[in-house]
Chains A and B, each alone.
Chain A
Amino acid sequence: MATATINWTPDGGADSQDQGVYYKTMQASGWTLSSTVGATIDTATINGLSDNVVYQFRVTNNCVFGYNANSDTTEAINITCPAVTVDPTIDTVDFSFNHLGGDISHYTVELLNASDTVIGSNDFPSPGAVISGTFTGLFPVTNYKVRVTVFATGVYIPSFSKVCTPVPVTTDAVVCNAASGLTVGMS
């Protein structure tokens, strides 16, 4: 669960009575009043919001005689990172993870070398329930990292993203065992 912190600049004029802090998910049609605060308050928090869901927020200045004025709408999302499974061979790395759902719309999976240079990338613009792929052409016994970037798209903010912590992986060693059971005979 996530907590939203909302900040704004209040009107705070003589006609302001109080302010309403509203929120809704991007997909919802109706606004929910989270709290009513004083006319000069400039911050509020909303607890218990879901991860990976785009929320919209706005503040209403409630004035005398029933007048009111809404702020512009802003958006925010708390993107979590998927648990990535990596499976190396001597020259490949398989990866897979479960789609986070919510308003997450897109993943990029990158392969980094030991210097954190991107040497491979896979794009998943329409992810299924499980995202998986393989990086090939790698060197044995070499350190790599698999890094996932998660994207979401809002109405007012076109792109949210979070770069997740890379998962280290080392390719397997080439197994080069010595021949055994050698026998020699003379005649």
Chain B
Amino acid sequence: MATATLNWTPVGNVYSINQTVYYKALHDANWALLATVGPTVNTASAPGLSDNVIYQFKVRNNCVGGTNSYSNMWELVNIICPTPVNITQGETDAAFNFVHVGGDVSSYLVELLSSADVVLNSQTFSPPASNVTGSFTGLTPSTDYKIRVTSKATGDLGDHIAVCGSVSFRTNDVVCNPPTSVSATLS
């Protein structure tokens, strides 16, 4: 669960009676009342929000005479990175999988990085399946790599992106033992 903290600049003049703060999830049709605050209050808190869901907020200045006006709409999302990112590496390939976090996360960018964090390859999953799986091939045996996942949720105001921590792995060694017990006879 997440808590949103809203800040704004109130009008706060003699015509303002109070302010009402509204919120809704991106895909909800209706706005819900979060709080009613005084005309000069400039902050509010919205606890108990679900992770990976885009929430939208707006503040209405309620004035005398029944008039009112809305602030601009703002939105945010607390993206939780998928975990664990499971990696099964071979000598020249690496398979990965993780569970889609759901909510409004609509795509993942999975990147293969070198140990020096240079992007070597990438795959995009949009829309993702409930279990995101893929693999990178053409790797070098006995070499360190990382896999990094970037989650994206798209709202009305644009994309919300979370670059997750990378997971390191090392490709397997090629097992190439020398023949042993070599003997020769000449006759």
Contact = CB atoms under 8 A, between A and B. Distances in A.
Interface of A: 2-11, 13-16, 19, 49, 55, 57-61, 63-65, 67-78
B180 A9 contact: yes
B116 interface: no
Interface of B: 91-92, 141, 174-187
A132 B2 CA distance: 104
A65 B186 CA distance: 34
A79 to B, nearest CB: 9
B186 A3 contact: yes
Given A14-B175, A64-B91, A69-B177, A57 B182 contact: yes
Contacts of A69: 176-179
A11 B179 CA distance: 5
Contacts of B187: 2-3, 5, 78
Label chain B's interface by main secondary structure: loop
A67 B178 contact: no
Nearest to B185: A5
A67 B174 contact: yes
Q: Is the interface of A mostly helix, strand, loop or mixed?
A: strand
B176 A2 contact: no
A173 B141 CA distance: 82
B179 A19 contact: yes
23 contacts: A2-B187, A4-B185, A4-B186, A5-B187, A6-B182, A6-B183, A7-B181, A7-B182, A8-B181, A8-B183, A13-B176, A13-B177, A15-B175, A16-B176, A55-B184, A58-B182, A59-B182, A65-B91, A70-B178, A71-B182, A74-B183, A75-B184, A76-B186
Contacts of B177: 11, 13, 61, 69
Contacts of B141: 65, 67
Given A15-B176, A67-B176, A72-B178, A2 B183 contact: no
Nearest to B186: A78
Contacts of A71: 178-180, 182
A173 to B, nearest CB: 42
A16 B179 CA distance: 11
Contacts of A10: 179
Contacts of A5: 184-187
Contacts of B174: 15, 63-65, 67
Nearest to A23: B184
B15 to A, nearest CB: 77
B176 A61 contact: yes
B179 A61 contact: yes
Contact of B184 (A4, A63, A68): A4
B182 A8 contact: yes
